[in-house]
Amino acid sequence: MPVERATRQAWLIWTTAVVIYFAAIFHRASLGVASLEAGERFGVGPAALSTFTVLQVGVYAVMQVPTGLLVDRFGPRRVLTAAAVLLGLGQALFAVADSYPLGLAARAVLGLGDALTWVSVLRLVAAHFPARRYALVVSLSGALGAAGNLAATLPLTVLLDSAGWTVTFLVAGLATAAYSARAAWRLRDVPAGMPAPTPEPIYPREVVARVAVSWRTPGTRLGFWVHFSTGVLPSTLGLLWGFPYLVEAQGLSPESASAVLTLLVFGGLFGGPVIGAFTARRPELRMPVATGFLTAAGLAWLAMLAWPGQLPAELLTVVFLLLSLGGPISAIGFALARDYNPFRRVGTATGVVNVGGFVATTISALAVGLLLDLAEPLGPGTAYRVALLAVAAVLGLGAWRTLVWWRRARAVVFAAQARGEEVPVQLRPRRWDVLPATPALAPA
């Protein structure tokens, strides 16, 4: 079913869809610079404040597999249209919420709308663009999503200061809901003249079977752990704890903290297309890129936490710029899902992969909030240092499982090559690989 070349219509459809993803990232990250104001508005401390993000991201993570099934069943046009409506309603409700329970309900609705976007965009890309363009277009999608993150940093801080909480969030919500009309009008599930895949009924037994098959595919499992590990550091900082950390532990002004958070966007805006184009040309180097980032990011994170006192501005800049590459590198997980699953199951497999990063972020955001409450008597600097160690532990878990499933996925590829089957990526055997008993595949 995937097309052989990208058309002008494909780019127009992609543009329409990616605007909704831009809005989803903006709404998702909007609490990042408003976290201190949210604590005052709802009268809550760090642990309760983290519940906003935990609930939103938790709903997102839980909905990823159902979203993949919905996209496979109803098509990305309908799902993206519903996403725009839910995002707008959720943000509008958050704008007028004056109690903690109502604020939680608003973030849950936002999480539901957010959950429907990315998998739908990826399915449109898979249908309208050739395989050789997939990684590049996905990285461009991520870059435009990063622009939504950028809009949720310094510009949103300025708007909150000038227009206030209610007006800022209410206008953003209503504009997003109104855009759903354009999505319903412009989007197409498949290219013109190409038959749409026959939708399969969603029965509980078939759902479980489809998810199980996707999960048992080593490429899907590897993609899950790549997404889990590469995105946890920038997501935890960008969605909630980066702004309070920079203000309370590093002593920055709100404007300076917003400017530093803006650095997390640069990797997606500028590094994303470069990484996407490179991995599209050299797919055999996708995993070395991912594991290299995990090593560098882990060392940078530990150095940041071990630094005595407040960090120099230069070191903060370097660390945040490095971590900003986690978002585009996490897209490698989606390319793995696409390559190693049949097209009819790409939506489900992509949803499974997308769960990874948001499970990691949910665990990290909650752990940081709980540890901050416990370590508060130690002072802001020490309390944040203790709390952010939890994120390092989540990163370590993800990196370990990534290495395990990288080796297993390579073994499956080599076994398929030994049987004479066509494989998406030609790999060169290494000494640490598990190889089938055939002289043809002995390490060079």
Backbone angles phi, psi at 379, to 5 degrees: 100, 155
What count of residues does the chain have? 444
Select from 433, 430, 426 the least CA-distant residue to 408: 433
The residues, any chain, with a CB within 8 Å of residue 208's CB and separated by 6 or more, are none
* Cα(442)–Cα(444) distance, integer angstroms: 6
Instruction: Determine phi and psi for 262, rounding to 5 degrees.
Output: -60, -30
Give 321: exposed, middle or buried? Use CB within 10 Å, 0-12, 13-18, 19+: middle
Q: How far is CA 306 from CA 89, 112, 199, 299, 310, in A?
A: 43, 37, 54, 10, 10
Comparing CA positions, the residue from 188, 49, 33, 222 lying closest to residue 120 is 188
The three state secondary structure string of the chain is CCCCCCCHHHHHHHHHHHHHHHHHHHHHHHHHHHHHHHHHHHCCCHHHHHHHHHHHHHHHHHCHHHHHHHHHHHCHHHHHHHHHHHHHHHHHHHHHCCCHHHHHHHHHHHHHHHHCCHHHHHHHHHHHCCHHHHHHHHHHHHHHHHHHHHHCCHHHHHHHHHHCHHHHHHHHHHHHHHHHHHHHHHCCCCCCCCCCCCCCCCCHHHHHHHHHHHHHCHHHHHHHHHHHHHCHHHHHHHHHHHHHHHHHHCCCCHHHHHHHHHHHHHHHHHHHHHHHHHHHHCHHHHHHHHHHHHHHHHHHHHHHHHCCCCCCHHHHHHHHHHHCCHHHHHCHHHHHHHHCCCHHHHHHHHHHHHHHHHHHHHHHHHHHHHHHHHHHHHCHHHHHHHHHHHHHHHHHHHHHHHHHHHHHHHHHHHHHHHCCCCCCCCCCCCCCCCCCCCHHHCCC
Q: What is the pLDDT of residue 58?
A: 80
Q: Which fold, 8-192+202-426?
A: Growth Hormone; Chain: A; (1.20.1250)
The model's pLDDT over 307-319, given as tens digits with 9 standing for 90+, comes to 888 888 888 889 9
Whole-prediction pTM: 0.73
Kindly tell me the sign of the dihedral angle through the C-alpha atoms of 257, 263, 269, 272.
Answer: negative
**125-183 per-position pLDDT tens digit:** 888 888 777 777 887 887 787 777 777 777 787 888 888 888 988 999 999 999 999 99
Give the separation between CA 151 and CA 442, rounded to whole angstroms: 52
Q: In this predicted structure, what is the pLDDT of residue 441?
A: 36
**Residues lower than pLDDT 70 in the chain:** 1-6, 193, 195-204, 268, 343, 437-444
For residue 444, the model assigns a pLDDT of: 30
Closest CA to 365 of 269, 223, 231, 167: 231
Where do the domains of the chain lie?
A: 8-192+202-426
**pLDDT score recorded for residue 230:** 94
3/368 Cα distance (integer angstroms)? 45
